Structure 1
C-alpha cells in the first residue's frame, strides 16, 4: 500500500472526521485512536497501514459512511475516485441569467447525469431537502428520521434552457405514480417531489403535471407532489457526481431502473416509453 498523505494533513482529516456528526461511533473510535497515536508521534506509515486494514472490510462492502469513504480512498491512494466537488461553482454569481430548480425523484445518484448533460446547465448538486433538522447526514436521511428526501439542485442558464425543459426531463426520469419511492429505491426519502421557489415555477409545474395527467400516458394516478422549496443541504462529497466517480456501480443502478421501466410497460402501467430510458 502506498501512503500518499503527510502527517499534518492526516491529523487534520482525522480531527474533522472525529467531530463530523455523520461519522458512526465505531468509525469514530478507530479514528480517535489513530489521531491520538499520531499526536503522540507514533510511526506514521505503520499506524496508517493498521488503520487501513481495520477499515478495509467495510470499505470493500461499501458500507463506510461517505466522508470516511473519501478518507479511505485518500489513504489507499485512490483519491481520484472521490475528488472534492467545488461548491463555489454551484452558487449563482449571475443572477440576471441564472435560475435554480430542485427535484426529488429517487436516489440522487441517478438524477445528476441526465440533467448535467443538458445544454445550459451550470451545476447539479446532490443533497437533502424538505426535512425537519439542519445539516442532516446520509445515515439520518436513509433511516427516515428527519423527513428529508434525496434531491438535486440544478443551476441553469436561462439564456440557453428553460424551467419547462427541466420539467420535461424530470417526468421522463421518474415514476410519478409511485408515492413510496422510485423504482428499486424504496422509502419516504425517495418520494417524487417538485420543489418550487416562486409562483412562476409553481404555475409551470402544475401545468406540466396536468398535461401529463391529460396525456393518458399512465393508467394510475399521478402522485408527484409540488411543494415550496425549503433549505437544500448539500450531500457529502462522496455522493457528488457519483456517476463519474463510480461508473461501474452507477451503470448497474441505471440498468436496474431501465429494467423496471420495461417491466412497467409490459404490465401496462405506463403506455409510452420515456426517451431517457430508450
Structure 2
C-alpha cells in the first residue's frame, strides 16, 4: 500500500470506531475493510465506497467526520483541513478572556466575531447540555440539551466583553427563544453564557438597555445563563465560512435579509414612539 492508501485506511478504521458514525455509514466502511482483508484491490473498494456515499454527500447528509473523509477521497482535502483546537485547551494569558454565545446555527456566528480586532480564536461547539462529548446528530436531534454556540477567546487590551455582547445583539433576533430565523428548535435558542459575575453584570445591563430602548415590540427573551463545559464541534464545522464559502454565503444572505427587515421595523418602532411623545 502507498502512504496515501495507508492514511485513508487508517481514517476508515477510526471512522468505524467513531461513535458518531451512523450505522449505515459504518456498514459501508466495514464492507471495504473486509473486502481488502480478503484480497480485494484497495482502490477498487475505495471507488465503490465513494459511489455509495455520493448520494448522501450531494445532499449534505453525511455525518461531519464522514463528510471530511469524503472530501479527502474525492480530491478536495482543503475542505477537510484540520482546525487547530489547541487554543481552546490552552491556559489563557492574564490579558485574555473568553465569551460564549449561542445564536442559532453556529456556522453564521463565527465570521462576524472572527473579523474583529483583538479576537484570538472563535470555536464552534456545543454547551448547556447534560451529555458528555455530544455529537452533531445528538445535538440537532435535541437529545442532549445542548445548544450550538461559539467560544470566543479575545485580547481584553484590544476589545472588551461589552463590545462582544453588543455585536451579539446585532446578529440575532432577541425576541425569539424557540430558535433563530429558519433554525428552529431548543438547540438553536439564543443564550449568553456568562463565566463570572463581571460578565453577568455586563450582559444583564446590556439586555436591560436593549429592552428599555423600545426597539422591539416583543419582550427580549434571550437567556443569560452560567457557562457550562464547552465541547468543540467536529472539524467539519470549524471555520465553515472559510471552507464552504458559497454555501455559507447563501445561508448568511438569508440571515442578513431577515435581520435587515427586523432592524427596519425597529427604526419604525422608535420613530413612532418619538412621534407619539410630541
Same fold (TM over 0.5): yes
Q: Name which one, 1 or 2, has greater alpha-carbon Rg.
A: 2
CA distance in 2, matches of 1:230, 1:150: 13
CA distance 1:87–1:61, shift in 2 (3 Å):
same
Please give the per-residue CA displacement for 1:41-94, whole angstroms capped at 9, x wherever unaligned: 421211111111111111111101100000000011101112110011344444
Q: Which residue does 1:276 correspond to in 2?
A: none
- Matching residue of 2:257: 259
Does structure 1 retain, via aligned residues, the 8 Å contact 2:181–2:258?
Answer: yes
Q: Is the 8 A contact 1:7 1:38 kept in 2?
A: no
Matches within 5 A, 1:168-187: 168-187=166-185
Q: 1:268 to 1:201 in 2, by over 3 A?
A: closer
**TM-fit CA distance, 1:263:** 3.8
User: Deviation above 6 Å: which 4+ runs of structure 1?
Assistant: none
Quote the RMSD (CA, aligned, Å): 1.7
Asked if the contact 2:118/2:155 (under 8 Å) is kept, the reply is yes
Which structure has the highest helix share of the two? 2
Q: Does the 8 Å contact 2:103/2:188 carry over to 1?
A: yes
Distance, in Å, in 2 between the alignment partners of 1:271 and 1:231 is 39
Tell me whether 47-56 or 87-96 shows the greater mean CA deviation: 87-96
Corresponding residue for residue 77 of structure 2: 79
2:159 paired with 1:161:
yes
Q: Does the aligned pair in 2 maintain the 1:180–1:190 contact within 8 Å? A: yes
Gapped regions of structure 1 (runs ≥ 5): 273-278
Q: Residues 216-267 of structure 1, C-alpha deviation per residue, up to 9 Å, x if partnerless?
A: 1111100000001111111110000000011111111111112222443566
TM-score normalised by L of structure 2: 0.92
Alpha-carbon deviation of 1:269? Answer: 9.5
Q: Distance in 2 between matches of 1:27 and 1:206?
A: 45
Q: Match for residue 274 of structure 2? A: none
Instruction: Map 1:100-139 to 2 at 5 A.
Output: 100-139=98-137
- Structure 1 residue matching 2:109: 3-state secondary structure: helix
- Stretch deviating more after TM superposition (262-271 or 184-193): 262-271
Query: What number of residue pairs does the alignment pair up?
Result: 269
Answer whether contact 2:109 2:150 (CA < 8 A) is retained: yes
Where does residue 87 of structure 2 map in the other structure? 89
